Structure 1
Amino acid sequence: MTRTDRTVGAVLSLVVTAVGTLWWTNPAAYPFGARDRVTVSLSHLIEHDVAGPMTVAAGLAGLALVFAPRPVLRVGAVAQLLFFGVVMSDAGIMSSLGYVLALLGPVALVGVVVLACLRRRPSGVVGLVALVALLVAGAVSGVVSLDLAGLFVRNLAAGFSSYAGRLGWTLANAVAFAVWVLIAVRAFGIGGPSRWTRPESAARWGRFVTIGAALCPLPYALYRLTWLTPWPTDSALTGPLDPATRLQGLTIAFGALLGTVLTLGLISRWGEVFPRWVPLFHGRPVPVRLPVVAGGLIAGACCLASPGLVVNAVETGQLEALLLWPYPLWGVLLAAAVLAYWLRRSSPVALG
């Protein structure tokens, strides 16, 4: 570990210790437990008199671990990942990313099409025709209108505002988890020389895990697209939905489909060189860190959402939710796909 790693780990551990002490001594400050509004988690089953001491112990242990020998650090880092990634995690981080992507995805698509048209690219003309056709179809069906778009944005903003405090704790836990992931990577020396880490090997096994990861968002996308029909696949919804709800289903399905497309970029040529239809950057090499960081964030969010999803599915007796939101499988496959991409692209001998 470098001095910076130790400093970051020590500061994080001090903050964790302080938070644990606050929860332990002040029940009103504890955001989880039975009164937690987010039940897709394990922490809603744990009250402050248990979570407080556990968090203090995690903080003190982390403070000792950052100065411990590497063998001890490795074991301790795994324990820290289990605490922040299982005990204190929830599905809020994945839900938030999904709604943000659903909101920004269509905006980004329109921007790409408009800029491609301005640069007189054939792909821009094709994209513009397809976009206009979709808008016309949406307007005729009542799914797309300025009023509905405004209502959707207002509802989304209200939801984020209502859960702002709880979401803050979700993000704080995600940061702690990410720090310990980086520390664990350094402690275990992941990415060192080995046969399976060679570019040609990473290209072979990376293709399989990437295709598997790309398939994971599709069930949810298809589920949301049924909201555009008179037969929505949701036990809480019956009959034709109002246009605002249908628009929500469309945008979220678009976000899920975009996730599939972007995942396939990890094994595609346009994942290494920006394609012609990308404004400003077309023809330039894709920075290795861009897909790695973006894909790593989504993979981490899936992992953090997995324990809560499993607990909630068992509690409610709805195990089919694991097929609709396959976060445990998705997180592992996407993390492996990102690792394969990084091993392949960071090697002096790049493929393609």
Structure 2
Amino acid sequence: MSSPDLLPRRPGDRPGDRPGTGADADGRRRPAGRWSRRTLAAGTVLAAAAALVGLAALTGLWPAALLDPGAAWLAGAASPRAAVVVQTVAALVGTGGGIAALAGALPRRAGAVLATAELAVFGILLQGTATLAVLGYLVAMALPAAVVVVLVQVVRRYPTARWAVGVPALALLAAGAVAAREPLAALAAHLGGALAAQAGRLVTVLLVLGVGTAWAGVLAATLAGTPALDRATAWVVRHRVPITVVAACGPLPYALVRLTWLTPWPLLGHEALDLPTRIWGLTLSGGAWLGVVLTLGLVRPWGEVFPRWVPRLAGRPVPVAAAAVPGGLVAAAVTFAAVPMLLLLPDDGLVPVLVSAVVFPCWLWGPALALAVWGYVGHRTFSGARAPGRMAP
């Protein structure tokens, strides 16, 4: 590259660029300064927050069970305190390096090394099975409200489906809520108490995930515009439909297993499940099904243009970040959890190992989802894709 800076100081041409192209003298594209700076700023801010949390944990101001073996692989391999120390040091390094890069004082190669190191610490050493569990539980808890909002919009926007789908589904949900009000209240009380008791741990797990994801984005932005990455992007865009279908199948085994909790033969559970637990299993399954649908949206028209039932945004192009950021976050969470999940596979025979690897296919689902998001971004950004009436960002 013609400049040693990790990021251009402002958009536009620089010395060494071919006039008006935004490319280096050798013809390679630079990453968009706006996207690069935002990603780097996010990684820097999140790293600073992680450093503060780590320092608070070391001084006893944060929950003692900050990074237990379920939340961080390093906590089990060494000790929780060692994990907190590594988190704090890495976060301080990331904060300082990020500030230097934003000021234009960090060479691009050094920035790539820094991003790789931050990704290794926050994406591998400090990851565990708790990351995926936390995201799954949060999505499941938000699912009922999301379903109600969608059904209300169906009633408002689709006259044909209003009486065939919207009104009957809302009436069925209302009747079910009344009939099962006691188990639903017990479930809500249990979940609320668990959230309150584990608030510090949840914040830490999500913060570590955010830092790892942000620095993965910084690394991608640093490498953007190189011939190798351009060729890889072109290949991913060409094959993005089958890749996305594979990614959409990732949560299916879990979704189907949780549905068995409504039968007398629940899998991954005991037969004496009470009604609140069975309802929770249905909700977890619904969250997985939502993941299937949203993943397929990466290759469907409504993934590029908001459909009619979306309030205030119907017909407008979907911002690339609106799909790429949450999709990338989930892809990072699943990929980061792949190694801890493989380490937890049962060692009592081949069949249990295969069952666990199929029910929780993080080893396939995470990379496939990351490639699907990559293909979506490449298609929208570099392929000249257009939404009706407006050019995609």
Q: If the length of structure 1 is used for normalisation, what is the TM-score?
A: 0.82
1:213 shift after superposition: 0.5
Partner of 1:194: 230
- Find the counterpart in structure 1 of residue 271 from structure 2: 238
State the percentage of identical aligned residues: 34
Give, in whole Å, the separation in 2 of the partners of 1:133 and 1:114.
11
What residue in structure 2 maps to residue 205 of structure 1?
A: 239
SS at match of 2:292: helix
Query: Structure 2 matches for 1:123-138, cutoff 5 A?
Result: 123-128=161-166, 131=169, 135=173
- Root-mean-square deviation (CA, aligned residues, Å) is 3.5
Between Structure 1 and Structure 2, the one with more helix by share is: 1
Matches within 5 A, 1:1-150: 1-2=6-7, 31=65, 36=68, 38=70, 41-47=73-79, 50-51=82-83, 54-55=86-87, 57-59=89-91, 61-62=93-94, 63=96, 66=101, 67-128=105-166, 131=169, 135=173, 145-150=180-185
Q: What are structure 1's unaligned runs of at least 5 residues?
A: none
Aligned residues: 343
Residues 166, 88 of structure 1: alpha-carbon distance in 2 compared, 3 angstrom cutoff: same
Structure 1 Cα separation of the partners of residues 74 and 42 of structure 2: 27
**Cross-structure match for 1:333:** 368
Q: Deviations over 1:181-231 (max 9, x none)?
A: 232123222687724434xx5443111210010000000001100000000
Farther-moved stretch of structure 1 (213-222 vs 96-105): 96-105
* C-alpha contact (below 8 Å) 2:72/2:83 kept by paired residues: no
SS at match of 2:239: helix
Q: Which residue of 2 aligns with 1:293?
A: 325
Choose from 210, 213, 218 the match for 1:175: 210
1:39 is displaced (CA, Å) by 6.3
- The offset of 1:134, in angstroms, is 5.6
* Alpha-carbon distance between aligned partners in 1 of 2:232 and 2:69, rounded to the nearest angstrom: 44
Q: Secondary structure at the match of 2:308?
A: coil
Unaligned stretches of 5+ residues in structure 2: 1-5, 10-36, 388-393
Question: Residue in 1 aligned with 2:255?
Answer: 221
Q: Is the 8 A contact 1:9 1:179 kept in 2?
A: yes
Change (3 A) 1:173 1:123: same
| Offset of residue 277 of structure 1 | 4.1
Query: What TM-score, normalized to structure 2?
Result: 0.74
Counterpart AA for 1:267: V
Q: Tell me if structure 1 keeps the 8 A contact 2:75–2:82.
A: no
Identify the range of structure 1 (279-288 vs 214-223) with the bigger mean alpha-carbon deviation. 279-288
* Per-residue deviation, 1:88: 0.8
1:100 Cα deviation from its structure 2 partner = 2.2
